Chains A and B, each alone.
Chain A
Amino acid sequence: MADHPGREAVAAVWRIESARIVGALARYTGDFAWAEDLAQEALAEALVTWPRDGVPRNPAGWLLTVGRRRAIDGFRRRSALDERHAALARDLGDGGAVSGSRPAQHSRDDDVLWDPDRIDDDVLALMFLACHPVLPREARVALTLRVVGGLTSDEIARAFFVPTPTVQARITRAKKTLGAARVPFEVPAAADRAERLPSVLGVVYVIFTEGSSASSGDELIRVDLAGEAQRLARVLARLVPDSAEAHGLLALFELTAARFPARTGPGGEPVLLEHQDRRRWDRAAIRRGRAALERAEHTGRGLGAYGLQAVIAECHAVAPSVEETNWERIVLVYEALGRIAPSPVVDLNRAVAVSMAQGPAPALALVDELVADGALASSPLLPTVRGELLVRLGRVDEARAEWESAVRLCGNTRERVVLLRKLADLG
């Protein structure tokens, strides 16, 4: 009866369970970096054992038991060195947990680890830890995908087009940094939570952004990565239901992902919003996105940067065509967004919205301000948009020069092809 799974089955279990396992082990040992090592060791053991003997009836329990045994072995090795570890090894053997003051009333240690009332807190604590402000941004992304998402270093490396050893080094270094900074494994107190949540949401946003418009490589949309970000946003919306921005982030993802089916043509080439067949948008995703946006509004805290971006995405989602889109409202929302989360990309998008609402001339003035500021100098975005506006104003030669420099700056193969076609069309 035992099924003989390949590595895929082990990977699937790991995707489902890794956050709970690393979280439980971190709570149990009081040492996140070590807990992550223990979890990886348990995973390595599963990769050997399960394909041979079949997936155990309770795979998470199996992984946790292996991790816990190795933790006790570790404590025993260290207990030769000091009395504190000796006491820990005794406590753990008796079914206690290091943090939390639960009495050792369980006959089975795993019950203490596998406490359903603590799973949510474990996963949330893990997210706050992986996205801690002491870490550089790319380390937060790698660590979150690894411990919360259950991706392997190889998968993370492939997703971000960096070598696997680079990802491994980022994770190792991040764990050392968290240890050196004495960051505790816990959900931050309510007062700190508001301050810490943006970094968690920001990491999930980066993951989705990379998935929804790959900055390099051949694929325009990395659906797997975007999907993982969406899943993380759903998890967060459930764990921090009073956060308007958690719901706003989920709404933004759903409404953006709704357009994926129409964003690439038959050959995988990008299709711009104005040329997309809107009937191909995923209506169920739009509905989920609008529901999430409503929940964000119901928190009564006003919309933040993600909620506002979701409103813009909703304006597009409900519009029957580009012409019939409420561009005036989009300009207003971009103005609000520019005040609470100023960025040249927001200014550029506002300029595009202005060109739709009021025409290319006022939009070009905004874009020229950005150029004067030296913003987005290494990105193809600015010359792409500027070229577009110049074409609409009949200044074809200047437009050609803009698009030629956009081609030079473009890292995505698919997007470069589109630009080259635009140039060819200019004659």
Chain B
Amino acid sequence: MKYMLIMRGTDETVAAFQDVDVDEIMDSMGRFNDEMVRAGVLLAAEGLDPEPGVVVDYSSEPPVVTDGPYGETKELFGGFWILDVASREEAVEWAKRAPMAGPGSKAEIRRVTTIDEFPQDNEWIRKEREWREATGQL
């Protein structure tokens, strides 16, 4: 089963990280990633630039585009890992090992759905399959 570990934080988390030595971050994150590789559970991982992005808010018509972090809560999505594990609990145990201490720092664990869970006779699902086939996507 595939699970996504979503790294979440707040402005406060990012600010706290500013004071941590880059080598130290690289080291602790590198160790964590390597441990998952060694255990044969890591399939993919990407990080996001902490620089403020752009937010498109669909609450009104037309949508409002603003700079900066997401909404009022200042929640930031910092990156993700995709794990191949036997159970949801196992994904939780890996998440607990992530080097993400600090104020407002969270990880969210969500199951990754497969394309098989959608109506297979749908034309767009068929197109998506072709694209996956052509590109070898997850």
Give the interface of A toward B (CB within 8 A): 5, 8-9, 11-13, 15-16, 55, 59, 119-120, 224, 227-228, 230-235, 238, 261, 279-281, 283-284, 286-288
Nearest chain B residue, comparing its CB with the CB of A281: B133
Pair A283/B132 contact, Cβ less than 8 Å:
yes
Pair B40/A13 contact, Cβ less than 8 Å:
no
Known: A238-B38, A238-B40, A279-B130. A13 touches B137 (CB 8 A): no
Pair B89/A261 contact, Cβ less than 8 Å:
no
A9 and B91 CA atoms in complex are apart in Å by 10
B12 at interface, CB cutoff 8 A: no
B 74-103 binary contact with A (CB < 8 Å = 1; else 0): 000000000010110110111010000000
Excluding A224-B86, A238-B38, 11 further A-B contacts by CB distance (< 8 Å) are A11-B87, A12-B90, A15-B90, A119-B38, A227-B84, A228-B86, A231-B39, A235-B38, A280-B116, A283-B136, A286-B136
Pair A120/B38 contact, Cβ less than 8 Å:
yes
Pair B89/A11 contact, Cβ less than 8 Å:
yes
Interface centre among A228, A284, A286 (most CB of B within 10 A): A284
Pair A12/B93 contact, Cβ less than 8 Å:
yes
A333 and B87 CA atoms in complex are apart in Å by 37
B116 cross-chain contacts in A, Cβ below 8 A: 261, 280
B138 cross-chain contacts in A, Cβ below 8 A: 284
Pair B38/A261 contact, Cβ less than 8 Å:
no
Contact of A16 among B39, B126, B135 (CB under 8 A): B39
B 117-138 binary contact with A (CB < 8 Å = 1; else 0): 0000000001001101101111
Known: A12-B87, A13-B93, A16-B94. A232 touches B135 (CB 8 A): no
A235 cross-chain contacts in B, Cβ below 8 A: 38-40
A280 and B117 CA atoms in complex are apart in Å by 11
Pair B37/A12 contact, Cβ less than 8 Å:
no
Pair B93/A283 contact, Cβ less than 8 Å:
no
Could you tell me the distance in whole angstroms from the C-beta of A317 to the nearest C-beta in chain B?
10
Q: How many interface contacts (CB-CB < 8 Å) are there between A and B?
A: 66
A interface: dominant SS: helix
A5 and B84 CA atoms in complex are apart in Å by 21
Known: A120-B38, A227-B84, A230-B40. A12 touches B89 (CB 8 A): yes
Known: A8-B89, A227-B84. A283 touches B40 (CB 8 A): no
Nearest chain B residue, comparing its CB with the CB of A230: B40
B 31-51 binary contact with A (CB < 8 Å = 1; else 0): 000000111110100000000
A119 cross-chain contacts in B, Cβ below 8 A: 38
Could you tell me the distance in whole angstroms from the C-beta of B39 to the nearest C-beta in chain A?
6
Contact of A279 among B41, B90, B133 (CB under 8 A): B133
Known: A12-B93, A16-B94, A235-B38. A283 touches B133 (CB 8 A): yes
Give the interface of B toward A (CB within 8 A): 37-41, 43, 84, 86-87, 89-90, 92-94, 96, 114, 116, 126, 129-130, 132-133, 135-138
Interface centre among A15, A224, A230 (most CB of B within 10 A): A15
B132 cross-chain contacts in A, Cβ below 8 A: 283
Pair B137/A283 contact, Cβ less than 8 Å:
yes
A228 cross-chain contacts in B, Cβ below 8 A: 86
A59 cross-chain contacts in B, Cβ below 8 A: 93
Nearest chain B residue, comparing its CB with the CB of A59: B93
B87 cross-chain contacts in A, Cβ below 8 A: 8, 11-12, 15
Could you tell me the distance in whole angstroms from the C-beta of B109 to the nearest C-beta in chain A?
12
A5 cross-chain contacts in B, Cβ below 8 A: 89
Pair A234/B40 contact, Cβ less than 8 Å:
yes
Contact of B89 among A9, A120, A230, A281 (CB under 8 A): A9
B89 cross-chain contacts in A, Cβ below 8 A: 5, 8-9, 11-12
Known: A8-B87, A12-B93, A261-B114. A279 touches B40 (CB 8 A): no
A13 and B129 CA atoms in complex are apart in Å by 36
Could you tell me the distance in whole angstroms from the C-beta of B101 to the nearest C-beta in chain A?
11
A55 and B90 CA atoms in complex are apart in Å by 13
Could you tell me the distance in whole angstroms from the C-beta of A125 to the nearest C-beta in chain B?
15
Could you tell me the distance in whole angstroms from the C-beta of A152 to the nearest C-beta in chain B?
13
Q: List 19 A-B contacts (CB under 8 A).
A: A12-B86, A12-B89, A12-B90, A12-B92, A12-B93, A15-B86, A16-B93, A55-B96, A224-B86, A227-B86, A230-B84, A231-B39, A235-B39, A279-B129, A280-B129, A283-B132, A283-B135, A284-B136, A286-B136
Contact of B126 among A224, A279, A287 (CB under 8 A): A279
A231 and B83 CA atoms in complex are apart in Å by 11
A360 and B132 CA atoms in complex are apart in Å by 35
B130 cross-chain contacts in A, Cβ below 8 A: 279
B93 cross-chain contacts in A, Cβ below 8 A: 9, 12-13, 16, 59
Could you tell me the distance in whole angstroms from the C-beta of B33 to the nearest C-beta in chain A?
13
Nearest chain A residue, comparing its CB with the CB of B40: A234
Contact of B90 among A16, A233, A287, A288 (CB under 8 A): A16
Interface centre among B37, B133, B136, B138 (most CB of A within 10 A): B136
A120 and B39 CA atoms in complex are apart in Å by 10
Known: A12-B87, A12-B92, A228-B86. A238 touches B37 (CB 8 A): yes
A119 and B35 CA atoms in complex are apart in Å by 10
Closest 7 CB pairs of A and B: A234-B40, A12-B89, A287-B136, A231-B40, A284-B138, A12-B90, A279-B129
